Amino acid sequence: MIYYSPHRKAHRRWKGQTRLCRLTIAVQILLLLTVSLVVCGLLEMSDMGASLLSLSGQKAMDQAPLEVGEGQGQEGSTKYTYTYKTLPGYFMQDDPATDAAKFDFMSTNFGLIDRDYESDQSLPDGGRGSTQWQRFEHHISTLNRDAREDNDEDRRSAKRHGSNPPPQTRYVLFFLGRHGNGYHNIAERYYGNIAWDCHFSALYGDPDGIMTWSDAHLSKEGKRQAREVNTFWKNQTSQDAQKMSLPELYLVSPLDRTLETAEISFDGLGPNNGKLDAVVMEKVREGTGIHTCDRRSNVEYIRQKFPTYNVDLDPNLTETDEYWIGDRREPDDVLVKRLRGFFDDLMSNTALAGDKERISITSHSGAIGAMLKVLGHRKFSLTTGAVIPVFVKVQRKSSNDEKEDKTLGRRHGGGGEGANHEDPTLDLPDLGDAETDKSKWEPVPSCPADLDLATVGQKRWGMGLKEFLDGVEDGTLDPNAVPFEFTGRSKY
């Protein structure tokens, strides 16, 4: 006989419901884990996508919009403030005792000071078997490695939340190269800077058709200077000399004279069969306006003449020149602010700059002067074709960090603007809307009443323009023999 109990039946029903509940919970957990894995995978794919975009020539610069405010870069919705400090004690050009007018970077190992570094001890033989440049490059890498170790946890945390911020502290060696001698340089020397600024700079060439200087090209002398720099780079990087490493990133102004200078200077060096793979950047062009030598050609012209150059990464590089205007000149303060924005954009752009330690920028005298000011370097004028290395410590702060610093300052009795914290931005004057309103740029200066434009060059040199040009090109005439007149206008 089977004993039947209603309580036992109820007990069996309860156990069945328990199993069902457990099964439901397990399914929910599995679904949650699956969704989490899919989300993580998508985040990783997005990071890979950004890298692939930069490698495939797409607009990786979009990750850090180029139209950012003073001293700020951008990564996603977070804004960053940058400080730049040229570190002294590494190059002779940093020393106020070094005379820029007499300095030769090619006879002084780029000006690198012969000294020991703490990081030498981490080399296999204490650095005794390494060249000065090898030990210096190792020193840069050591500083960056230590900085990365300090910041790694912060970066990992940020990446888990879907962002990939640039490092908080990094050390970068910039090679700032001025273009070789151009036809506009020859014309300015012939006519003098007063006549050049008030009249000849606005022309496309001389009245007799001897030479043109609109988007000025390199002269024969300028090409020779670039070839000298090329020979110097080849010697510096050879195994028989300093064994220097080449720059890891090449940026160049879109004006013809800089494009050709960079092409010649680095010809036969590096990958891509020795052909320069540079990125053309609008913001590193010369101060612009009025002077036709600073009006660039269309992007299609650049693409055809310099096919290995990348003209697609910079969204500011429009097909036609939208920045140059014929009746106003970009003021020095606006130029400095433009270059400040360029460096902030570059440091924010992890796809382009990444962890690169050596960056070459081929530009112009005025633009390089503004760069030196932004980077905290003393004024140092470059002759045509010259290169100056600048070793810079770059520090990043997010807007949230700044707010927190200010709060901490107030808690500890400091001022409301950050207490004892150093001002992280370059001290620039308030430009109002002069940066974007070009009607407030500087107008064409008036020529002196007693200046005879028809004979000014002849009077300065005792010869016509054709004879002067031939002398400069064949090296029999020093274009610096007659000094410029002082105009009272500041120049970088």
What angle is formed at CA 434 by the lines to CA 431 and CA 439, rounded to 5 degrees?
155
Beta strands 72-75 and 328-329: pairing type? unpaired
Question: What CA–CA distance (Å, rounded) separates 140 from 185?
Answer: 36
Give every CB contact of residue 174 below 8 A, 6+ residues apart in sequence: 359, 360, 361, 371, 375, 389, 390, 391, 392
Task: Tell me the C-alpha to C-alpha distance, in Å, between residue 261 and each of 201, 220, 408.
Answer: 22, 12, 50
SS3 assignment, position 329 = strand
Active-site residue 118, yes or no? no
Structure tokens at 258: 């800089």
Q: Where are the alpha helices (DSSP H) in 169-269?
A: 183-191, 193-198, 220-237, 256-265
**Shortest CA distance to 308 belongs to which of 356, 262, 362?**
262
Active-site residue 286, yes or no? yes
SS3 assignment, position 279 = strand
CB 83 within 8 A of CB 424: yes
Question: What CA–CA distance (Å, rounded) separates 438 from 210?
Answer: 32
- DSSP class per residue in 220-240: HHHHHHHHHHHHHHHHHHSTT
Query: Of the residues 263, 286, 330, 357, which is catalytic?
Result: 286
What angle is formed at CA 176 by the lines to CA 377 and CA 265, rounded to 5 degrees?
160
Question: What CA–CA distance (Å, rounded) separates 47 from 55?
Answer: 13
Task: Tell me the C-alpha to C-alpha distance, in Å, between residue 165 and each of 26, 351, 417.
Answer: 37, 11, 25
What is the distance of C-alpha 101 from the center of its chain?
A: 25
What angle is formed at CA 225 by the lines to CA 201 and CA 274, rounded to 5 degrees?
115
Strand order in 279-280's β-sheet?
Answer: 72-75, 78-86, 387-398, 169-178, 358-363, 249-252, 279-280
Q: What is the helix, strand, coil percentage profile of the chain, to 5?
A: 45, 10, 45
Query: Of the residues 179, 217, 291, 377, which is catalytic?
Result: 179
Question: What CA–CA distance (Å, rounded) separates 208 from 347?
Answer: 47
Residue environment code for 427-441, b if the CB has 16+ CB neighbours within 10 A, otherwise e: eeeebeebbeebeeb
CB 374 within 8 A of CB 343: yes
Positions marked active-site: 179, 286
